[in-house]
Chain A
Amino acid sequence: MSGFINDRFEKIVKKRAEYSEHVTLSHRKIYIVPSKLSLMLLIVISLIVLAGINYQNNVFYILAFWLLSLFIWNFILTFFNLSKLEVKAKKTLNVFAGDTAEFEFELSRVNKSVHGLNIKTDEQVLDSIFVDKKSSKSVFIKQKSVVRGKMEMHKMTFSTVFPFGFCYGFSYVYLNLPAWIYPKPVDANVLSVNTAPGDQQILEDTQIIGSEDFNQLKQYEPGERLGHIHWANYAKTGELKVKEFVDVNSSSMWIDWADFPMLEREARLSHLCFLILEAHKKNINFGLRLNNLEIEPVFQVEQKQSHLDHCLIQLAKF
């Protein structure tokens, strides 16, 4: 029976809930119920009233009814502690399948602080969050990923027992903040069907550091070429740094979906993911071909990270 009621309740809640990047808690979404503590309070109030009746003493009545009206007022206070709280999606930490993704969103409310907010998901409980009226507050929710693709955020329960704990106010928040789950990188140990063996060889070359393009500053170690010491930096900070150079690798490789027909879909994506990561690690310029989609290799150092992310997201979306 209670299961049936729960299901019905869940349905009603879902109908009223709003799936959006920017959720504002309103009276349609906030539910207030008396807490377990209120049962204790009601017992105490009845005992005081009973004493008042038996002693025919009006001071008992005053104390009891004051408690009672505070209990009723508590419902309203609890509601106003949640009402108009704004939840804004910010960003996600995309991860490989099986890892824990992280969602970041922002809580804020103008004019009034939020006290003792608890946020609960299936995997995580955040207790006693205080949102100041003057500033917004970032909240991170972790969620374990299972499969490649788009991962929606689970239902979040926002709850509070503010102020006295006699009422439990809660609201379900479905935030539109999907995380992309990349395929798990797995080396399938297969050779590409239509590329020259040289391509494969590129991945195995480890020597990357060259002399043409300035890449970064690193700590000086005895035995390095004096010509590479960044003297300007030495004059400024007193630290010996050497300039590290890389050769601009104008050659590039293509990582192609069509190259591995012997692997089934997910395994093929995992293998592609592995190749992409290897290429990135070894500083090899690479492009990605997924059927109709083609991502050109990039040669600028500062674009490489975003290129990698872009490629990985395409794998996740594929």
Chain B
Amino acid sequence: MTKNTKAVYTLNSAMKIWLILALIVTWLPFVFNLPVVLHFLIVSIIVCQSFVFYKKIVLAAWIRFVFILSVLIVAGLFSLLHYSVEGVISFSLLAVFFKIFEIKSKKDIYVLLMSLLFVNSTACILNQSLFYSVWLIVNMSILLSVFVAIEHHQAMSFHKIIGFTVKQMLICIPLMLIVFLMFPRINAFWSMPGLSDQATTGLSDSLSPGSIANLAQSNAAAFRVTFTDKNKKPISLQQQPKLSDLYWRAMTLDYFDGKTWSQNDQFSEIKWQKPKVEMADSRYYQIIMQPSFQRLMLILDRLSTNIKQSTLMQDQTVLANVEFEKIKKYDVVSSRQFFDQVVITDLQLELLTQLPDSINPKTYQFSQTLMQDSQSVIDYIQKVLDHFKTNQFYYTLSPPTLNTKNQIDEFLFESKEGFCSHYASAFTVLMRMQNIPSRIVGGYLGGEYNDLGGFWQINQKQAHAWVEVYINGTWIRIDPTASVALTRIEQGMDSMFEANGLVEIIARSSWMSAFQKRMDAMNYAWQNKVLNYSANKQSKLVQNVGSWWNQNFKQVLLSILIISVLIFIGWALRMPISYLFLPLHTKWVKKLDKRLGQVKPNQSMEDKLILFVKANPNKKEQAEAFLTIYLSWRFAVNSNIQITQLKQKFKQLIST
């Protein structure tokens, strides 16, 4: 409809500010995720263009050439190193930002803004937390403000434009929600490049306790759990499990080379077998995983119902079929009793008692003497645990490194300081030296219960290692760390250490932890309700709405009918507000009729007054005074006549 004039388009100062602002806000969400080289380039683009705008310099052709060359080089490096979504995003970000050098018409601004809208939305691949998503939405409203500013920056001030856009965005929320809830959820058309694995967090697939001098403490959430009853209804605080029962299994480590525990590849997938009876101690829970970039799934004890899109391994751990690249939810039913009566083959027996040859002689000596004193295997285990308890072993997150070939000897008889991995490792070695099948289990212990959201949050720092021992056809869980640091098991990680440093003290203060709890609860709701809204939930919602509709459609239709009739009447009459004083009018008419001694319906106030004046000629002035005020009170939309004034006039008229 509008014709673009080919005249040279000059940006005014307001639009320059708007455009630079648009670039900066679009760039900011990427700051934490993309490589430094990219940020260097983007900042130089923005600075360069600011100079062009404010110093009115013309950018030399060679500078643009250098820019484009550097982008090509960066893009080339990315595609050579790894084909990941960060590479794609970086490249498109730069390509879009270059458009700022080419603003020659209004159309160019629109193309730039539209591309920025798209690039801004791609940031949600990198992070989907509530905070980040809200940030992207705020950015979107700033970009949309620029659309308003292009045409109307002269009539509206900066903050007015932003305020206007935000208001319109808020008005659109209901419509957006309807479309969001009802849009059919389709499976992916083709696979997209995923995130590069530099972001990997979580559990490592090997354990070398001797080489770690300081265990990093990360407060990042690993996953969140809601315990439910059989019918997926959340359970109350009293029914929540005990902290010391929450051993979240992720993987087992069964091969030891003297330094490092790792997974033996021969342990493979097993077929899922449906349990014959449902166990009385079954636990039902939903887990929302944070992106871990691993396939490990966390479960308590043993599965008693299969999980979709996952594989059950021989060691009773579960692997998802694809890595957790984004927040994902799964339901688990598990039972403690399933550890009973497991048969292991000879090959497995051999693997589960594997030890490197001829190292740790002192430990071997120690285990032999201990075994000779013991009546049974159980007794032996108890004696080992007692040894940890009574011989001044310490739990610490910064143990001395173990440098000799015989690391277990060094730990047991010299340093005696370590964290869960040290104790699990030493304990397993002591078991295997007496040919007791055993393995280290890696996972998380405990969690923090959030009473606002009714869920457990398990952070990375709650990572833990413990041991499983095979006795009399049953796997038994033993946590050697408990012998050394019982509080770690019963009260969680934080209780182990004194708060030191200002940050820690603040972080553990009550209002801070209350705030943290609130934030966690909001994030949990966001992940649970929004990020995990799927085709499944959609069909459930439609069903619920449908059944509600079937039950209530008569009432709904009736109320819609009544409301629309009321609206129509209101619209058709379009009465002035004063019309609401209709009773007063009726009262006056009745009084006048009484005076005149005749009742004529459907007569206007004017007609009545004419008759009245005819009957009482001396009242002509009062009648006129009353009528003028009456008419403007009743029919003028913006009348500011007081009702008392009118009443007074009527009294004067009617008085004899």
Taking a contact as CB atoms under 8 Å apart, the answer to whether B137 and A130 are in contact is: no
A40 in contact with B176 given A58-B533, A66-B169 (CB within 8 Å): no
Closest-CB distance, B321 to chain A (whole angstroms) = 14
Closest chain B residue to A62 by CB distance?
Answer: B180
- In the complex, whether A299 has a CB less than 8 A from a CB of chain B is no
CB-contacts of B136-159 with A (<8 A) = 136-137, 140, 144, 147-148, 150-152, 154-156
Smallest Cβ distance from B359 to chain A, in angstroms? 49
Q: Interface digits, A257-281 against B, CB 8 Å rule (1 contact, 0 not)?
A: 0000000000000000000000000
Q: CA A36 – CA B154 in complex, angstroms?
A: 23
Give A250 to B146 CA distance when docked, in angstroms. 71
Q: Mark B94-129, 1 if CB is under 8 A from A, else 0.
A: 000000000000000011001001101110110010
Asked if B155 and A116 sit within 8 Å, CB to CB, the answer is yes
Q: Could you give, for residues 57-78 of chain A, a 1 whenever the CB lies within 8 Å of some chain B CB and a 0 otherwise?
A: 1111111111111101100010
In the bound assembly, the distance between CA atoms of A62 and B140 in angstroms comes to 11
For residue A164, CB closer than 8 A to chain B, the reply is yes
Whole-angstrom distance between the alpha carbons of A65 and B177 in the complex? Answer: 8
Contact of A65 among B111, B148, B171, B179 (CB under 8 A): B179
Residue of B with least CB distance to A41: B114
Once the chains are docked, how many angstroms separate the CA of A41 from the CA of B150?
Answer: 16
The distance from the CB of B158 to the nearest CB of chain A, in whole angstroms, is 15
CA distance A161 to B168 in the complex (A): 16
Residues of A with C-beta under 8 A to B175: 69, 72-73
Answer whether A40 and B172 are a contact pair too, CB < 8 Å, given A60-B121, A65-B183.
no
* A282 in contact (CB, < 8 A): no
User: Would you call A65 and B154 a contact (CB within 8 A)?
Assistant: no
> Using Cβ atoms and an 8 Å threshold, which residues of chain A touch B140?
63, 66-67
Task: From A48, A55, A164, give the contact of B118 (CB < 8 A).
Answer: A48
Contacts of B191 in A (CB 8 A): 54
Docked Cα-Cα span, A33 to B1, in Å, equals: 9
Name the contact of B168 in the complex, choosing from A49, A56, A70 (C-beta under 8 A): A70
- Supposing A33-B1, A162-B151, A163-B152 touch, asked if A59 and B133 sit within 8 A by C-beta, the answer is yes
Please, which residues of chain A bring their CB within 8 A of the CB of B156? 115
B188 near A53 (CB under 8 angstroms)? yes
Could you say which of B110, B111, B144 contacts A70, with CB atoms under 8 Å apart? B144
A186 within 8 A of partner (CB): no
Which B residues lie within 8 Å of A41 (CB)?
Answer: 114
Query: How far apart sit A64 and B120, CA to CA, in the bound complex (Å)?
Result: 11
Complexed CA–CA distance, A65 and B151 (Å)? 24
Given A53-B189, A57-B124, A65-B176, A44-B152 contact (CB < 8 Å): no
A165 close to chain B: CB less than 8 A: yes
Q: A40-B110, A65-B183 are in contact. Are A159 and B124 (CB under 8 A)?
A: no
7 pairs from A and B in contact (CB 8 Å cutoff): A43-B114, A51-B121, A59-B530, A60-B124, A62-B137, A63-B137, A77-B168
Which A positions have Cβ atoms within 8 angstroms of B?
Answer: 33, 35-37, 40-41, 43-44, 47-51, 53-70, 72-73, 77, 113, 115-116, 128, 130, 159, 161-166, 168, 170
A-binding residues in B (CB < 8 A):
1-2, 110-111, 114, 117-118, 120-122, 124-125, 128, 133, 136-137, 140, 144, 147-148, 150-152, 154-156, 164-165, 168-169, 171-172, 175-176, 179-180, 183, 186-192, 326, 530-533
Given known contacts A43-B114, A55-B192, what 9 new A-B pairs fall within 8 Å (CB)?
Answer: A53-B186, A54-B190, A57-B125, A58-B530, A67-B117, A68-B176, A70-B168, A130-B154, A162-B152
